[in-house]
Amino acid sequence: MKLDTIVELEGNKKYYILDETIQNDKKYFLATKLDENEEMTAESTIFEENKVGEDIFLKEVTNEETARYILSVFTTTLINEIDDEKKED
């Protein structure tokens, strides 16, 4: 799974992969749902990567505690990136 790509899940739902993190040896992705015109919506989801052999599957994180933790990791990463850009200016 790569950043800045579109993935299509069951039910023809499409998501744009925005960010990734590895926590406790598991890879997580922050993704934004796309509409029928492949435009980003306001709906975001956190997915956990699951590998079965060579195949990669995304499973939505439904555990609220895990989702909050992973979201805080993504938020901290974004804040740090913004701070780094400000320092460069």
Phi, psi of 78 (to 5 degrees): -65, -45
Where are the domains positioned within the chain?
A: 6-88
Give pLDDT tens digits for 56-88: 999 999 999 999 999 999 999 888 888 888 887
pLDDT by residue (tens digit) across 16-36?
999 999 999 999 999 999 999
Output the average pLDDT for the chain.
92
**Upper half-sphere CA count for residue 74 (Cβ side, 13 Å):** 20
What pTM does this model have?
A: 0.86
**What are residue 59's DSSP bridge partners?**
48
pLDDT above 80 (res 5) = yes
